[in-house]
Every structure is written in C-alpha cells, then in structure tokens.
Amino acid sequence: MTPRDASDANDNRWSDLDRPPLNGTALRRALVREGGLWGDVRVTPHTGSTNSDLVALATDEKADEGVVLVAEEQNAGRGRLDRQWTAPARSGLFFSVLLRPTGVPVERWGWLPLLTGVAVATALSKVAGVDTALKWPNDLLVTVGGEERKTGGILAERAGNDAVVVGIGINVTLREDELPVPGAGSLALAGATTTDRDTVLRAVLRSLEQWYEKWRAVGGDPAASGLQETYAAGCATLGRVVRAELPGGTSITGEAVAVDGDGRLVLATEEGVQQPVGAGDIVHLRPA
C-alpha cells in the first residue's frame, strides 16, 4: 500500500467497521452548554500531536478555555519524557483540552495531570466497567489476564502564562497483535462493557469538568477539593516498593507511602528517610 493509499484508508469512514469515526457535531451538541466548561469540540482525521496543535493555538491566543481537540489518528503523539505514543487510526481516544485555571496559584497547577487521572479513571470505571488504577504520576492501568497493563497516559504542558494543555491518550480497541509494547493494554482487552469511543469520550469529559470545577472553586486546594484523598485511594503505586529514576541519571528506591500536598510521591527509604519525588520515571518493584 502506498502512503497515499494508507491515508485514504484512514480517512475512509468505512475502512474499519469495528472502529467507526467520531461525530463532532453530536459531541458538541452533547457537551457544549451555556455556563459549562467545554466551549468547542473539534475532531480532526489525523494530526501530528493534539497537544502541540492546541499549545500553538493557545500561545497565539486563538483558542479559549474549554476547547477540546480530538484526533482520530496521531503520528507524532507524545508522552512524558518525550516518549512516542502511536496507535492505529480510531483504535483509541487521543485528545487535548485547554484550561486556564484563573484563581488557582501557579504552584498548584502541578495537580492538573493528577486531577485528570482521577477524572479519567473514575469515568472509565463507571462507563466501561473497567477497574482503572493510577500509576504515579500519569499512567492509567487496567488488568488483563491478571497482569497490570498501561492503557493510557496524560501529558500536561504550559501554554503561555495563563494556560495549560492537558493531553490524554486511551487505548480502546487495541488487539494483542497491535500492542506497541508487551506491557500495554486496552479497554477491550480488559473486558470493557463498552468500547464505543463516543460514549467513553463524553463520560471522560464530563468527569473532568466536574473535578476541575470542584478543584478550581477552592483555589486548587487538593485537600479541600477531595482530590488528594481520591488520588491516593486509586493510586496503584502507593504501598509498593518502587524505584524512582530521576532526571540526571540517579535513582531512589523505597516504599511509596504518600502523595503530598504538592502532588509529589513520598518514598520511605531503607535509611529511614522520607524522600519526596516531584519528577521521574517510577518502576513498580513489588505488588502492593
């Protein structure tokens, strides 16, 4: 198949009947309402990265808070630490949202990816019947055949002085032979009661709106909003011995005992020190 043929196949709504396209008009009708957070839902057939596109729009002041950009396919999707995120067209949900958290101190904006994780996990559990756990700081985990697998991730990026773009990727109908790495999973492989992407996207965005408004109403206070407690309850990292691989090539090993008020993971080391970790890659070494 030539590159042009591949593009045509991805654009054709009948190219994969098990993976129908999203209906942007229907999504806007369902999600955009007077006084609500979501002001526009835009669906594009393919792009490099919805995060990059939305950051550019926000930086140029061409997008207001509440814009949602969804791509049926991404060829330059990014995760944390500049990792690539690729998947077949319409096999998942790949979207970014623009938030301008006025009234929330900048030092609390670091809670936004964790807040998004809580919103997504609770929505997936409700709408798809899949028990979804959180791996600090931004991975979504499901169980496939008794094994914990990553089915989604979150990436938050600043856009100018007053905005944050939060990108979300969720594997929905990926099959075993399509998984990019052995540790990956999908809602379908986890036995989801629905893999209708329209239904899942609506549930996720409504949950995100509820959590964001609750958090913003109390100035981003993670305790007063219930966010810190809820995140801890759904975090699969807590209670485990983990290795934190830190920027600069160093690492810390210890038991993950808490998520502090700044959203950092607190490790209890063998030396008896409680060490907060604000950034890094976390490797689960022992089940909870």
288 residues of the chain, pLDDT tens digit each: 333 333 344 455 545 668 999 999 999 999 999 999 999 999 999 999 999 999 999 999 899 999 999 999 998 655 554 556 678 999 999 999 999 999 999 999 999 999 999 999 999 999 999 999 999 999 999 999 999 999 999 999 999 899 999 999 999 999 999 998 888 999 999 999 999 999 999 999 999 999 999 999 999 999 999 999 999 999 999 999 999 999 889 999 999 999 999 999 999 999 999 999 998 899 999 765
DSSP 8-state class, residue 47:
B
Q: What is the pLDDT of residue 181?
A: 87
Architecture per CATH, 238-284: Roll (2.30)
Helix (H) or strand (E) holding 114: helix 112-128
The CA-based dihedral angle spanning residues 186, 26, 51, 225, taken in that order and rounded to the nearest 10 degrees:
-80
**Beta-carbon contacts of residue 141 (< 8 Å; ≥ 6 apart):** 132, 133, 134, 135, 148, 149, 150, 151, 185, 236
**3-state secondary structure at position 97:** strand
User: Can you spell out the DSSP letters for 55-93?
Assistant: HHHHHTT---TTEEEEES-BSSEE-GGG-EE---TTSEE
Q: What is the pLDDT of residue 6?
A: 38
Evaluated on CA atoms 60, 63, 66, 67, the torsion sign reads: negative
Task: Output the pTM of the full model.
Answer: 0.91
Structure tokens belonging to residue 160? 């100018």
Q: What is the pLDDT of residue 4?
A: 35
Please report, for the chain, the start and end positions of each structural domain, with discontinuous segments joined by +: 3-233, 238-284
What is the CB-side half-sphere exposure of residue 256 using CA atoms within 13 A? 28
Structure tokens belonging to residue 44? 């594009």
Structure tokens belonging to residue 176? 């075993």
Q: What is the pLDDT of residue 17?
A: 67
To the nearest 10 degrees (0 to 180), the angle between helices 112-128 and 197-217 is: 140
**Terminus-to-terminus CA distance in the chain, angstroms?**
47
- The residue among 97, 78, 71 whose CA lies nearest residue 163 is 97
CA 50 – CA 178 distance, rounded (Å) = 22
Q: Do residues 285 and 267 lie in contact, with contact meaning Cβ atoms separated by under 8 Å?
A: no
CA 74 – CA 120 distance, rounded (Å) = 20
Architecture per CATH, 3-233: 2-Layer Sandwich (3.30)
CA 86 – CA 102 distance, rounded (Å) = 33
